[in-house]
Each structure stands twice: as structure tokens, then as C-alpha cells.
Amino acid sequence: MSTDLAIVSDTHVPGREAAIPGWVRDHIEAADHTIHAGDFDAPETRSLVEDLAQGLTAVAGNIDPPSVDLPAAATVEVEDVTFVVVHGTGPHDSWSTRVRRLVGETVDVGTGTVVGVAGHTHTPTETVVDGVRLLNPGSATGARPASRATMLTVTVDGDALDVEVHER
């Protein structure tokens, strides 16, 4: 049996964008679980994503007000994979090393399959740093500095992942 995830970040509604695109909402609704890597922008946006999702793991971003009420880091076990979610705040050019460090501070990366999820840069990214796979879904609304709306869907089967980037 496999599990389908929707991975989004940097929605920035209503601060930079008016709404989450319908096609992103559709992916969230269809997924078994959703991961949001921060920068909802408002508590109402968090509530909207919670209402759309079958289950939600989310963290606060650097733009989120305290009323969004989310931790800086969260973990979720999906099949045989531990996902560590952070926002990834900081300079864009050191995103991958910073996120890898944060993942290692959150869980023991030597045990099982660990995947780091972070946003912040608004650029979809899939890379491996020191043996840890890192995923960045970009901005689900195409909020600046992004040039388009992007997100990831991930099918998890045991400890295997099939990652797909969606953009419009």
C-alpha cells in the first residue's frame, strides 16, 4: 500500500497573493496527508489548508505571525519514511546545508529513511546532502520572488519515494 502526499509552502495569502490556486487545492484535497513548510501568512490561510487536507503537518515560516501558532520544526512518519519539516529561513545560497543541519538536529539521520522538507526560497528543489534527501516545493501561489506557482506530490511506498513537481 502506498501513501500520497501533497507538499506545499510559501502560500503568502493574503499578504502577497489573494488565494491558493484551485489546482493546488485539488492536490491537497486528493492527498492522504499534506505537509506545509511555512509562510501561510495568516491564521485563516492555515485554517483553509487544514480544512482541505485529510491530515496536516505544518511549521511556521519567517513571515507567519504568532497567531498562526505552529512549531519551528515538526516530524511525521509516513510508511517507512520520517519527514522532518522546517521552513529553512536564511540566505538562499546556503539553504541546502542549513536545512540538512536542522534535519540532523531534529532526528537521528542514521536510523531509517529521513527526508527533509523546507520552503523559504520559493524555488522547487530536490537534492541530497550528506545522505539526506531534501525537498522544497517552491511557492504554492507563485508569490514573489517565484515566477510561477509550484508544489510537490510524493507517493511513499515503504521507504521509496516518487516525487513529482507541479507548476503553473
All domains in the chain, ordered by first residue: 3-167 (3.60.21.10)
The contacts of residue 60 (CB under 8 Å, 6+ apart) are 38, 68, 70, 71, 72, 87
- Residue % of the chain over a pLDDT of 90: 98
User: What cell numbers appear for 142 in the block?
Assistant: 507563485
Question: Which one, of 156, 159, 141, lies nearest residue 49 by Cα?
Answer: 141
Is the peptide bond prior to 145 cis by the omega test (within 30 degrees of 0)? Answer: yes
Query: What are the pLDDT digits (tens) for 19-55?
Result: 999 999 999 999 999 999 999 999 999 999 999 999 9
Using pLDDT thresholds of 50, 70 and 90, give the confidence band for residue 111: confident
- pLDDT reported for residue 110: 87
Query: Residue 23, Cβ neighbours under 10 Å: how many?
Result: 13
